[in-house]
Structure 1
Amino acid sequence: ARSFADALINFYNFFFANNLFYCIINRLLVRLLAHRYNSEWGMERRISWPAALFAIVLIIAGLGGDMLPTSDVT
Structure 2
Amino acid sequence: MGRATRSLNSSNNFLNLQQNLADTEDKLAYARQCYNDAVATVNRLITTILTMFVAPMAGVSQREFCQVPK
TM bucket normalised to smaller: 0.3 to 0.5
For the pair shown, the structure with the greater C-alpha radius of gyration is 2
Q: Indicate the structure whose relative CO is greater, using CA pairs within 8 Å and at least 6 residues apart.
A: 1
Hey, which of these two has a bigger chunk of helix by percent?
Answer: 1
TM-score scaled to structure 1, two decimals? 0.39
TM-score scaled to structure 2, two decimals? 0.41
